[in-house]
Structure formats: C-alpha cells, structure tokens
Amino acid sequence: MAEQFERLERKLVHHGNIIDFYEDTVKVPNGNVVKWDFIGHKGAAAVVPVLEDGRILMVKQFRNALDRETLEIPAGGRNDVDEPFIQCSYRELEEETGYRCEKEDMEFLISIRTTVAFCNERIEVYVARNLKRSHQHLDEDEFINVYPYTTDELSRLIYEGKIQDAKTIASLMAYINKYVKN
C-alpha cells in the first residue's frame, strides 16, 4: 500500500531546538494531492532505573506543554541522529537522576514510536540495574527531583491518571510485564 502514496515535496517550515516542522505534499492512492504536517525528531532514549530493592527511580519535572509537573522515567533526546541510543541512555540516566551504571547493567527493553500520525520520534528504552550514586548534571533550564517508587505504587498512579506520559506508561508496563509479573 505504501507504493500508492508518493511524497512529492517536503518543505521545512521551522527548524527548532528539539524538532523540525515540515509541510509534506503527498499524492494519495486516489490521485489527489494533499498537504500533511510532519515533525522530524532526532530520537531519544529513556531508562527504567531499578534500585537494589526493586524500586524504580522516577523524575518529577515541569513540562511547558502541559503547564505542570509530571512524573516520568528519565529520558532525553539524542545529541544528533548518529548518537547511539544506548549512549544517550547512559547520559540521561546520570544527568537526570544522579545515578549511573556499568555497560553490562543496561539492557534494552522496548522501542516506542510516540506519535506515528505526524512525527517520526523513536524512543529506545532500557532497564538500568546495579546503580551507583554519582551526581546530577542538569541543563540550566532543568529542575528535576528524583523519587523512588515500587511497581505497585507506579501501577496505581498510572490507573489513577496521575502518570499520563506515554513513554513512561509503556515502559513501566513493559518492565512490570517482563520482570515483575512472571
């Protein structure tokens, strides 16, 4: 079916710090030519950081798009499209939580496409174990607090609607399904 769709043009409308916004001109299967929005993203990595006692470190931070604080797993964008996702995950773990882990203690969990209707963002999610204290390396516009939660507490917060971030919900559910509920 994809062969019946033909992108005729992709025009950059805005180049941003995190995303690029494009207007695509696409010929659809019935022959019509339509305009579609497309958001280009470098990709990101996220981490489910598991303490020795099984609790998961979560980050609380202000999100401008929602005009409020959110509770999430640590995550962040790749520096460029060539940066390996796992390298990004090590960096974001330490930057946001003040913990780090060794190579053998970071394991791939799940790959997420956040909004497939208009954005190519891909987030690779990892599980980090055997965490060692380090220190946060926050950007000048980041103000992040870190809190440990049990998987039962996190499940409850998801179902109560207190955690709404899609990457966090998908990642925690994948982690719980793979490691906790077996």
Residue 117 sits at φ, ψ, to 5 deg, of: -70, -30
Q: Where are the beta strands (DSSP E) in 16-134?
A: 19-27, 33-41, 44-49, 56-63, 68-72, 75-77, 99-100, 106-113, 122-128, 132-133
- CA–CA distance, 94 with 99 (Å, rounded to integer): 5
> For residues 63 and 95, is the Cβ–Cβ distance under 8 A?
no
3 annotated active-site: no
> For residues 101 and 128, is the Cβ–Cβ distance under 8 A?
yes
Catalytic residue from among 140, 142, 153, 160: 140
Just list the catalytic residues: 140
